[in-house]
Amino acid sequence: MKIELNKEMITLGQLLKVCDFISSGGEAKSAVKELSIQVNGEKENRRGRKLYSGDVIVIENQTFELE
């Protein structure tokens, strides 16, 4: 799924909310520990990880491409 950014970057926690994996920002801390998340092929568990256009994120076997 392609996600269009309306600003230069988005954090992993914000992306989890946009993609409906969490309902509030407060859930991000536990979600990054519980969910299987990869950013550009590497395991990621930091909710504050900055994501930019061109990044490929895989969350629970669902692929998201940032534009």
> DSSP letters along 2-38, please?
EE--SSSEEEHHHHHHHTTS-SSGGGHHHHHHHS-EE
Helix (H) / strand (E) element for 37: namely strand 37-39
**pTM for this prediction:** 0.92
Instruction: Give the model's pLDDT for residue 15.
Output: 96
Mean pLDDT by 10 residues, the chain (67 residues): 94 95 92 96 96 98 97
Total tally of structural domains belonging to the chain? 1
Instruction: Give the model's pLDDT for residue 47.
Output: 95
How far apart, in whole angstroms, are the C-alpha atoms of residue 34 and residue 55?
21
How far apart, in whole angstroms, are the C-alpha atoms of residue 48 and residue 57?
14
**CATH code: domain of residue 16:** 3.10.290.10
Boundaries of domain holding 31: 2-66
Instruction: Give the model's pLDDT for residue 26.
Output: 87
